[in-house]
Amino acid sequence: MTCERQSLYAEVTARIIAELEEGRLPWVQPWDAAKCPCTMPHNAVSGRLYSGINILILWATGVEAGFSSQRWLTFRQCAAAGGHVRRGETGTVVCYADRFTPKDEVARAQSEDCEALQVAFLKRFVVFNSAP
Protein backbone atom coordinates (compact mmCIF):
# COMPACT_ATOMS: atom_id res chain seq x y z
CA MET A 1 0.00 0.00 0.00
CA THR A 2 1.50 3.32 -1.00
CA CYS A 3 0.73 6.55 0.73
CA GLU A 4 0.85 9.61 -1.49
CA ARG A 5 1.77 12.73 0.40
CA GLN A 6 0.14 15.88 -0.86
CA SER A 7 2.66 18.60 -1.57
CA LEU A 8 2.96 21.34 1.01
CA TYR A 9 2.05 23.89 -1.64
CA ALA A 10 -1.16 22.02 -2.42
CA GLU A 11 -2.07 21.78 1.29
CA VAL A 12 -1.57 25.50 1.87
CA THR A 13 -3.42 26.39 -1.34
CA ALA A 14 -6.36 24.15 -0.40
CA ARG A 15 -6.57 25.74 3.03
CA ILE A 16 -6.57 29.28 1.61
CA ILE A 17 -9.20 28.33 -1.00
CA ALA A 18 -11.42 26.84 1.73
CA GLU A 19 -11.19 30.09 3.70
CA LEU A 20 -12.05 32.10 0.59
CA GLU A 21 -15.02 29.83 -0.19
CA GLU A 22 -16.32 30.48 3.33
CA GLY A 23 -16.21 34.21 2.59
CA ARG A 24 -13.11 35.02 4.63
CA LEU A 25 -9.84 36.52 3.48
CA PRO A 26 -7.32 34.77 5.74
CA TRP A 27 -4.84 37.63 5.54
CA VAL A 28 -7.35 40.28 6.66
CA GLN A 29 -9.64 38.22 8.88
CA PRO A 30 -10.76 40.19 11.95
CA TRP A 31 -8.95 38.30 14.70
CA ASP A 32 -10.81 37.79 17.95
CA ALA A 33 -8.32 38.44 20.76
CA ALA A 34 -10.46 36.37 23.12
CA LYS A 35 -10.00 33.30 20.91
CA CYS A 36 -6.42 33.78 19.85
CA PRO A 37 -4.29 36.81 20.65
CA CYS A 38 -3.00 38.33 17.43
CA THR A 39 0.64 37.97 18.33
CA MET A 40 3.36 36.64 16.12
CA PRO A 41 3.51 32.85 16.22
CA HIS A 42 6.76 31.69 17.78
CA ASN A 43 8.51 28.54 18.86
CA ALA A 44 7.74 27.87 22.52
CA VAL A 45 11.24 26.51 23.21
CA SER A 46 13.59 28.70 21.17
CA GLY A 47 11.43 31.84 21.01
CA ARG A 48 12.15 32.08 17.27
CA LEU A 49 9.39 33.84 15.33
CA TYR A 50 7.76 31.97 12.46
CA SER A 51 7.83 33.77 9.14
CA GLY A 52 6.29 33.77 5.67
CA ILE A 53 3.29 31.57 4.98
CA ASN A 54 3.78 29.89 8.37
CA ILE A 55 2.35 33.01 10.05
CA LEU A 56 -0.93 32.71 8.15
CA ILE A 57 -1.08 28.95 8.67
CA LEU A 58 -0.58 29.22 12.42
CA TRP A 59 -2.88 32.22 12.87
CA ALA A 60 -5.66 30.42 10.98
CA THR A 61 -5.15 27.25 13.02
CA GLY A 62 -5.12 29.22 16.26
CA VAL A 63 -8.38 30.97 15.45
CA GLU A 64 -10.03 27.81 14.14
CA ALA A 65 -9.09 25.80 17.23
CA GLY A 66 -9.63 28.66 19.70
CA PHE A 67 -6.10 28.52 21.10
CA SER A 68 -5.22 31.21 23.63
CA SER A 69 -1.54 31.21 22.71
CA GLN A 70 0.67 31.57 19.65
CA ARG A 71 3.41 29.36 21.12
CA TRP A 72 4.15 26.28 19.00
CA LEU A 73 6.53 23.32 19.27
CA THR A 74 7.31 20.00 17.67
CA PHE A 75 6.49 16.68 19.32
CA ARG A 76 10.16 16.15 20.22
CA GLN A 77 10.53 19.66 21.64
CA CYS A 78 7.46 19.05 23.78
CA ALA A 79 8.82 15.75 25.10
CA ALA A 80 12.27 17.25 25.74
CA ALA A 81 10.67 20.08 27.73
CA GLY A 82 8.85 17.55 29.92
CA GLY A 83 5.45 18.02 28.29
CA HIS A 84 3.24 15.70 26.32
CA VAL A 85 0.93 15.89 23.34
CA ARG A 86 -2.58 14.68 24.07
CA ARG A 87 -3.57 11.43 22.36
CA GLY A 88 -5.44 12.18 19.15
CA GLU A 89 -4.19 15.79 18.99
CA THR A 90 -3.70 16.99 15.42
CA GLY A 91 -0.63 19.01 14.61
CA THR A 92 -0.21 21.76 12.04
CA VAL A 93 2.20 21.45 9.12
CA VAL A 94 4.64 24.35 8.70
CA CYS A 95 7.63 24.59 6.42
CA TYR A 96 11.24 25.66 6.57
CA ALA A 97 12.98 26.73 3.36
CA ASP A 98 16.68 27.44 3.01
CA ARG A 99 19.75 26.75 0.91
CA PHE A 100 22.96 24.90 1.61
CA THR A 101 26.18 24.12 -0.20
CA PRO A 102 27.15 20.42 -0.22
CA LYS A 103 30.73 19.65 0.81
CA ASP A 104 31.54 17.96 -2.53
CA GLU A 105 30.25 21.07 -4.34
CA VAL A 106 32.60 23.28 -2.32
CA ALA A 107 35.52 21.00 -3.24
CA ARG A 108 34.53 20.98 -6.91
CA ALA A 109 34.21 24.76 -6.99
CA GLN A 110 37.61 25.21 -5.36
CA SER A 111 39.28 22.82 -7.81
CA GLU A 112 37.67 24.55 -10.80
CA ASP A 113 38.17 28.05 -9.33
CA CYS A 114 34.48 28.96 -9.59
CA GLU A 115 31.59 29.69 -7.26
CA ALA A 116 29.93 26.76 -5.50
CA LEU A 117 26.30 26.10 -6.37
CA GLN A 118 23.75 26.06 -3.58
CA VAL A 119 20.92 23.59 -3.25
CA ALA A 120 17.50 24.81 -2.16
CA PHE A 121 15.37 22.67 0.13
CA LEU A 122 11.94 22.73 1.72
CA LYS A 123 11.34 20.77 4.89
CA ARG A 124 8.00 20.27 6.59
CA PHE A 125 7.44 20.07 10.32
CA VAL A 126 4.37 19.27 12.37
CA VAL A 127 3.93 21.63 15.29
CA PHE A 128 1.49 21.66 18.20
CA ASN A 129 0.13 24.63 20.10
CA SER A 130 1.25 24.87 23.71
CA ALA A 131 -2.11 26.10 25.04
CA PRO A 132 -3.70 23.71 27.53
Tens-digit pLDDT profile for residues 49-98: 999 889 989 988 888 888 888 999 999 999 998 888 989 888 999 999 89
pLDDT of residue 32: 56
Q: State the pLDDT at residue 10.
A: 82
Evaluate if residue 111 carries a pLDDT over 60. yes
Distance CA 8, CA 16 (A): 12
Is the full-model pTM beyond 0.85? no
Residues 6+ apart with CB under 8 A from 109: 115, 116, 117
Sheet strands (E) in the chain: 42-43, 71-74, 92-100, 119-129
